[in-house]
């Protein structure tokens, strides 16, 4: 089997280390309505999709997966308005799928509030779309959704398209290998035969595919009670998450009970902030978000509104001319390092951002935005960064420190841990706070960047910088705006620290 062109040993265990197991709510939608059927047929309206997403987020769901059930049928994705409305109150990651046929389709959905793009019918018909989206937005953003149905005339499973309505000519196992080689950063497999039944997952299917997959795997279809979940996670240690629709919608399973059971089994789970109280940012700041076509801008704007600050999008170089100490610029980012620098260069923003930071302007980079602060990135090719921080952004090693293969990208909830420099952000050390990560590249924690590192995160025994700071410039490798109330409060603390210790 191959991963990025390299042969790996299937017998060597593949592992997640430190990342939490994910419970993902699957919401099939038509327009703004949540719908659900059995085996993708007999679809019935359940309620308002946004209302269900908010309810699940408030109850501690780890992610939301929106699937436009009729997008392929009508040749369009109607989720943009649903995404915008959901992102106003939902601050956990959102994956969206349905009629994503071009890079521009993906860009629009990411701008509207999506964090990852799920692809099925379009990439079965045009597999090169996986490569294009991966190169533009980074493989961590590309989820290939595979709907598998038991074959009629042979043992095995067929790959289904058009929301489970048609059989394709793809061989399931060959397709799994191909999508990984093309740049899929995550695979979501749904059993069509079990979908909506609540009778239990297709364990035979799961056992057949799990050793073929070297990226995060989410599995769904038929999950009906806590025993199904227990057996899935206990018997398949490298399963990243489960996708549940029917049993959540019909209250056969409660998120709190799921988390309690996983904790009882000593599995890592995300703990989340239960209070809805959020304090406004005290500082009188004007927030500008740099729009260079590489970020989930909507959720970030909504996070600042929760914190009592209106934002403006900035993509005109003249907007960066102001020097007032009351201004705050945010460099977000979803995508690949070379493409990020290319877009900044295209908009003539590179020198403007560097000068803004060097002259004392407050600047925060998020995920790719943080990576661009460093001297160089090595994703796809060596690319010069903004040079605001010393060091190089490199791929996390695909072996853990125990020599097992480490599953990449690093997708999900993981802890950030304080260093001795943490006094610049909070009074008490952070030792048990989960934030949402989605990346394969990071700034390795080393002597070169030690003095700039506020927090570190461990994945498979490899430590990388998850918060860095140099005077008025701070970088966050995770997405606080997608990390629930913990992330929103952390973002507020970071902003206030910028002005307190400027």
431 CB neighbour count, 10 Å cutoff = 9
Least confident among 62-71, 120-129, 140-149: 62-71
Q: Cis peptide before 409, with omega less than 30 degrees from 0? A: yes
Query: Does 278 fall in a domain?
Result: no
Give the single-character DSSP code of 444.
B
CA angle, 245 as apex, 484 and 115 as ends, to 5°? 40
What DSSP string describes 219-248? EES---SHHHHHHHHHH-TT--EEEE-HHH
493 CB neighbour count, 10 Å cutoff = 17
Measure the CA–CA gap between 25 and 336, rounded to whole angstroms: 27
pLDDT at residue 9 is higher than 70 = no
3-state secondary structure of 250: coil
Residues 246 and 367 in one domain: no
Residues 36 and 180 in one domain: yes
Q: Which of 295, 289, 292, 332 shows the shortest CA–CA distance to 310?
A: 289
166's tokens: 């048609």
Q: Which of 458, 383, 353, 469 shows the shortest CA–CA distance to 420?
A: 469
Q: Tell me what the mean pLDDT of segment 36-54 comes to.
A: 91
Give the single-character DSSP code of 152.
S
pLDDT in tens, 259-302: 999 999 999 999 765 555 677 777 788 899 999 988 778 889 99
Question: What is the 3-state secondary structure of 86-115?
Answer: HHCCCCCCEEEECCCCCHHHHHHHHHHCCC
Residues 45 and 80 in one domain: yes
Residues 316 and 452 in one domain: yes
Query: Does 44 fall in a domain?
Result: yes
Residues 104 and 196 in one domain: yes
Domain end among 230, 264, 298: 264
124, 161 Cβ separation under 8 angstroms: yes
pLDDT at residue 10 is higher than 90 = no
Collect all residues with Cβ–Cβ distance below 8 Å to 355 and sequence separation of at least 6: none
Give the single-character DSSP code of 394.
E
pLDDT in tens, 175-228: 999 999 999 999 999 999 999 999 999 999 999 999 999 999 999 999 999 999
pLDDT in tens, 434-484: 999 999 999 988 888 989 999 999 999 999 999 999 989 999 999 999 999
pLDDT at residue 162 is higher than 90 = no
Distance (Å) of CA 45 to CA 22, 147, 148: 26, 21, 24
Residues 319 and 422 in one domain: yes
Residues 162 and 199 in one domain: yes
Least confident among 14-23, 53-62, 115-124, 251-260: 14-23
What DSSP string describes 297-320? HHHHHHHHHHTT--EEEE-SGGGG
Residues 104 and 248 in one domain: yes
Residues 318 and 423 in one domain: yes
Query: Does 273 fall in a domain?
Result: no
Query: Does 339 fall in a domain?
Result: yes
Reported for 197-205, long-range contacts at CB under 8 A and 24+ positions apart, including other chains, are 197/38, 197/39, 197/222, 197/224, 197/246, 198/222, 198/223, 198/224, 198/225, 198/246, 198/247, 198/250, 198/252, 199/224, 200/224, 200/228, 201/228, 201/232, 202/148, 203/231, 203/232, 203/235, 205/148, 205/157
User: How many CA within 13 A on the CB side of residue 106?
Assistant: 28
149, 98 Cβ separation under 8 angstroms: no
Query: Whole-model pTM?
Result: 0.91
Give the single-character DSSP code of 178.
H
Residues in the chain: 502
69, 29 Cβ separation under 8 angstroms: yes
Q: What is the residue range of 453's domain?
A: 286-500
Beta bridge partners of 166: 161
* Confidence band, pLDDT 50/70/90 cuts, at residue 153: confident
In this structure, what CATH number is given to the domain that contains residue 247? 3.20.20.70
- What's the structural domain count of the chain? 2
Query: Does 357 fall in a domain?
Result: yes
Collect all residues with Cβ–Cβ distance below 8 Å to 403 and sequence separation of at least 6: none
Distance (Å) of CA 457 to CA 92, 340, 428, 462: 19, 23, 17, 8
164's tokens: 């489970």
Query: Does 75 fall in a domain?
Result: yes
| Ramachandran bin of 481, using left for φ above 0, alpha for ψ from -120 to 50, beta for the remaining angles | alpha
Residues 313 and 427 in one domain: yes
pLDDT in tens, 27-44: 999 989 999 988 888 789
Work out the mean pLDDT of the chain and round it to a whole number.
88
* Confidence band, pLDDT 50/70/90 cuts, at residue 321: low
Place of tokens 């995770």: 478
Q: Which of 389, 379, 384, 376 shows the shortest CA–CA distance to 475?
A: 389
* The pLDDT value given to residue 157: 94
In this structure, what CATH number is given to the domain that contains residue 370? 3.40.50.880
8, 214 Cβ separation under 8 angstroms: yes
Q: Which of 131, 484, 438 shows the shortest CA–CA distance to 275?
A: 484
Query: Does 45 fall in a domain?
Result: yes
CA dihedral of 127, 129, 133, 134, whole degrees rounded to 10: 30
* Percentage, residues of the chain above pLDDT 90: 63
pLDDT at residue 429 is higher than 60 = no
Q: Which residue has the higher pLDDT, 268 or 17?
A: 268
Place of tokens 């390092």: 337
Considering only CA atoms, give the Rg of the chain.
Answer: 22
pLDDT at residue 250 is higher than 90 = yes
* The pLDDT value given to residue 15: 61
Highest mean pLDDT out of 46-50, 277-281, 493-497: 46-50
Query: Does 271 fall in a domain?
Result: no
Residues 249 and 291 in one domain: no
Measure the CA–CA gap between 62 and 54, rounded to whole angstroms: 12
Residues 338 and 458 in one domain: yes
* Confidence band, pLDDT 50/70/90 cuts, at residue 235: very high
Measure the CA–CA gap between 256 and 285, rounded to whole angstroms: 38
pLDDT in tens, 341-396: 999 999 999 999 999 888 888 999 999 999 999 999 999 899 999 999 999 999 99
* Confidence band, pLDDT 50/70/90 cuts, at residue 3: very low
pLDDT in tens, 292-316: 988 778 889 999 999 998 888 888 7
pLDDT at residue 403 is higher than 80 = no
Collect all residues with Cβ–Cβ distance below 8 Å to 174 and sequence separation of at least 6: none
């Amino acid at each position: 089997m191959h991963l990025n062109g390299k042969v790996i040993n299937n017998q060597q265990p593949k592992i997640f280390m430190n990342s939490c197991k994910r419970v993902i709510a699957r919401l099939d939608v038509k327009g703004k309505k949540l719908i659900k059927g059995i085996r993708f047929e007999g679809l019935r309206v359940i309620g308002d999709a946004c209302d269900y997403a908010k309810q699940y987020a408030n109850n501690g769901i780890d992610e939301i997966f929106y699937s436009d059930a009729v997008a392929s049928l009508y040749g369009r994705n109607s989720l943009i308005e649903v995404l915008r409305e959901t992102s106003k109150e939902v601050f956990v990651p959102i994956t969206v799928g349905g009629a994503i046929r071009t890079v521009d389709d993906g860009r629009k959905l990411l701008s509207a509030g999506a964090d990852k793009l799920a692809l099925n019918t379009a990439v079965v018909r045009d597999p090169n779309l996986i490569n294009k989206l991966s190169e533009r937005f980074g493989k961590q953003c590309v989820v290939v959704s595979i709907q598998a149905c038991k074959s009629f005339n042979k043992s095995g499973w067929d790959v289904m398209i058009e929301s489970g309505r048609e059989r394709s000519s793809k061989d399931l196992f060959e397709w799994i290998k191909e999508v990984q080689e093309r740049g899929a950063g995550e695979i979501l497999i749904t059993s069509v035969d079990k979908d909506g039944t609540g009778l239990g997952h297709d364990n035979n299917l799961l056992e057949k595919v799990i050793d073929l997959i070297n990226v995060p795997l989410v599995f769904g279809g038929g999950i009906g009670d806590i025993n199904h979940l227990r057996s899935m996670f206990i018997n398949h240690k490298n399963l990243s998450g489960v996708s549940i629709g029917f049993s959540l919608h019909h209250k056969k399973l409660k998120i709190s009970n799921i988390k309690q059971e996983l904790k009882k089994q000593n599995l890592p789970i995300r703990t989340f902030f239960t209070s809805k109280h959020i304090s406004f940012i005290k500082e009188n700041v004007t927030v500008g978000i740099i729009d260079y076509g590489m970020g989930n801008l909507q959720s970030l704007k909504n996070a600042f509104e929760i914190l009592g600050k209106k934002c403006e999008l900035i993509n005109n170089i003249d907007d960066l001319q102001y020097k007032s100490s009351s201004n705050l610029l945010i460099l977000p980012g979803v995508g690949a390092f070379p493409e990020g620098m290319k877009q900044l260069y295209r908009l003539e923003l590179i020198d403007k951002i560097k000068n803004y930071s060097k002259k004392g302007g407050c600047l925060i980079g998020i995920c790719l935005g943080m990576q661009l602060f460093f001297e160089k990135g090595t994703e796809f090719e060596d690319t010069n960064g903004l040079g605001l921080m010393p060091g190089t952004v490199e791929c996390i090693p695909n072996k853990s420190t125990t020599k097992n293969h480490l599953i990449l990208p690093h997708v999900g909830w993981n802890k950030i841990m304080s260093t001795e420099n943490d006094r610049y952000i909070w009074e008490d050390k952070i030792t048990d706070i989960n934030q949402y990560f989605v990346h394969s590249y990071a700034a390795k924690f080393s002597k070169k960047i030690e003095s700039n590192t506020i927090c570190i995160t461990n994945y498979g025994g490899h430590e990388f910088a998850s918060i860095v700071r140099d005077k008025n410039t701070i970088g966050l490798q995770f997405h606080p705006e997608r990390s629930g109330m913990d992330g929103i409060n952390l973002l507020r603390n970071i902003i206030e620290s910028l002005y307190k210790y400027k």
